[in-house]
Amino acid sequence: MYSSSFGVTLIALTMITSQVILAVTSNVVLSLGMVGALSIVRFRTAIKEPLDIAFLFWSIAAGIILAAGMIPLAVIGSVIIGLVLLFFVNKKPHKNPYILVLSCENKQSEDYALNYINSKVDRVVIKSKSAQKGLIEVNMEIGLKDDNTDFINKLSDFEGVNSAVLVSFNGDYMG
């Protein structure tokens, strides 16, 4: 699964690394000191959000660069990194997908429900399907035409449809 947070983290870490390399190339003693300083950094807690790692390394890099006396590099670099992060973190897709879990009694009710769903939404992608005797469950990702979800109420009233569950989905898995 694509994680937008991971993509933003890659951009941030590239810029932070460039800032550190600019500081390191100016002084050999500073470069050895940075290697030593970065080697003692250790996290005891697992960090689950990729963007949190970028912020941690950004603060470490800015601190080291400031301690080395390169104040303009630290300030200008941090402002640029902050603006880029502000732009990319707040950039959200205009439409969030939804996950629809459909439970039907048989193939005929499933086909009827799928035809109805296709007429009410922009996009349908079947993610999984399980079948047991007397029960078919289909999980699909859908894109709504608008924010109206009333079609789920009508769908659950169809003959042979046991349940229809709609869940908002942003693509991120936490846990």
Q: How far apart are CA 109 and CA 121, in angstroms?
A: 18
Q: What is the dihedral of CA 87, 90, 93, 94, to 10 degrees?
A: -110
Q: How far apart are CA 113 and CA 125, in angstroms?
A: 14
Give domain status of residue 108, yes or no: yes
Q: Tally the C-alpha atoms within 13 A of residue 107's C-alpha that lie toward its C-beta.
A: 0
Could you tell me if 78 and 60 are in contact, meaning their C-beta atoms sit under 8 angstroms apart?
no
Same domain, 85 and 12: yes
pLDDT at 122: 87
Same domain, 105 and 59: no
Same domain, 107 and 83: no
Only one residue has tokens 């707040």, namely 90
The pLDDT profile of the chain, 175 residues, written as one tens digit per residue, is 567 788 889 999 999 989 888 887 877 777 777 677 666 666 667 777 888 888 988 998 898 888 888 899 999 999 999 999 999 888 765 567 889 999 999 999 999 999 999 988 888 999 999 999 889 999 999 888 887 888 888 988 899 899 999 888 765 555 4
Same domain, 83 and 13: yes
CA 53-55-59 angle, to 5 degrees, is 120
Could you tell me if 102 and 137 are in contact, meaning their C-beta atoms sit under 8 angstroms apart?
yes
Same domain, 105 and 135: yes
Q: Measuring CA to CA, how many Å separate 151 from each of 17, 92, 123?
A: 50, 26, 14
Structure tokens at 83: 């603006």
Say if strands 135-144 and 121-132 run parallel, antiparallel, or are unpaired: antiparallel
Same domain, 114 and 157: yes
Of the residues 28, 56, 89, the one at which a domain ends: 89
Across the chain, which distance is largest between two alpha carbons, in Å? 77
Domain that holds residue 155: 98-168
* Length of the chain counted residue by residue: 175
Same domain, 43 and 9: yes
Same domain, 46 and 73: yes
pLDDT at 171: 56
Give domain status of residue 175, yes or no: no
- Number of structural domains (the chain) is 2
Same domain, 60 and 31: yes
Same domain, 80 and 107: no
pLDDT at 92: 65
Of the residues 59, 89, 119, the one at which a domain ends: 89
pTM: 0.58
pLDDT at 175: 44
Q: What CATH number corresponds to the domain at position 146?
A: 3.30.70.260
Same domain, 8 and 84: yes
